[in-house]
Chains A and B, each alone.
Chain A
Amino acid sequence: DAGVTQSPTHLIKTRGQHVTLRCSPISGHKSVSWYQQVLGQGPQFIFQYYEKEERGRGNFPDRFSARQFPNYSSELNVNALLLGDSALYLCASLLGTPNTGELFFGEGSRLTVL
């Protein structure tokens, strides 16, 4: 069975640009979460979507947005990139309702902002 897939795996952008990261959950999983992992730190929660609705949002600026599509895949968009946005962006899918916590993570999209 395919796990959580993310694309692209690596990308380099410059300050002020926009980026779109994509995630496909495990088949049958209806919830997708996004986390930002800055080097040397634990992952920080950005968003969770369940059944195409936003169910939770972390302490991130409005430059960060996301959506979930009818097939449960998801996109994370970041506008006006800053150097501090350089990080590993992790997508995780969840079988069941959002509050069970057993997330299945993809391998991440590593974003470098120059």
Chain B
Amino acid sequence: AQSVAQPEDQVNVAEGNPLTVKCTYSVSGNPYLFWYVQYPNRGLQFLLKYITGDNLVKGSYGFEAEFNKSQTSFHLKKPSALVSDSALYFCAVLPFSGNTGKLIFGQGTTLQVKP
């Protein structure tokens, strides 16, 4: 079965420290991978995506993600966290299943950045 796992319900970091939010996936073929962020009572905002090419993808607000095919992971990273980064983060995968546009989301990881 195709799935996405975010093993941490919550990640706590101090402002200014680097952050990592973990994501692993299980799909057949070469997937497209995404990160979205959700602020309280808001919809999801696109952060970045991996389609092909360089394994390190840079996205919005200083975030980046590293694709690792052998470990089937796509961890989200940021060198220096801000309090305003506190939000709910979702990893998602788009299986290459032919034009259904069906994104499979993980359960989400709450990022708490403390001053």
Verify B43–A44 contact, CB threshold 8 A: no
**A55's contact among B94, B100, B106, by CB below 8 Å, is which?**
B100
Chain A residues whose CB sits within 8 angstroms of the CB of B4 once the complex forms: 42
Given contacts A31-B101, A98-B101, A102-B46, 8 further A-B contacts (CB under 8 A): A33-B101, A42-B105, A42-B106, A45-B103, A97-B99, A101-B32, A101-B34, A101-B103
Inter-chain contacts of B99 with A (CB < 8 A): 50, 55-56, 97-99
Contact with B along A30-69 (1 / 0, CB 8 A): 0101010000111111001010000110100000000000
Chain B residues in the interface with A (C-beta under 8 A)? 4, 32, 34, 36, 41-46, 49, 90, 92, 94, 96, 98-108
Are A56 and B108 in contact, CB atoms less than 8 angstroms apart? no
Given A41-B107, A99-B94, does the pair A105, B43 have CB atoms closer than 8 Å? yes
Please report A residues at the B interface, Cβ cutoff 8 Å.
4, 31, 33, 35, 40-45, 48, 50, 55-56, 58, 90, 92, 94, 97-108
A43-B90, A107-B42 given; A102·B108 CB < 8 A: no
Cα distance, A74 to B42, chains bound together (Å): 20
Number of A-B pairs, beta carbon distance below 8 Å: 77
Chain B residue numbers with a CB within 8 Å of A44 are 105
Which 6 interchain pairs have the tightest Cβ spacing?
A56-B100, A42-B105, A98-B101, A105-B43, A48-B101, A101-B94
With CB as the reference atom, state the residue of chain B lying closest to A105.
B43
Whether B102 pairs with A48 at a CB distance below 8 angstroms is yes
Are B108 and A41 in contact (CB-based, < 8 A)?
Answer: yes
A43-B44 contact in complex given A48-B102, A56-B101, C-beta closer than 8 Å: yes
Residue from the list B32, B34, B43, B101 in contact with A90, Cβ < 8 A: B43
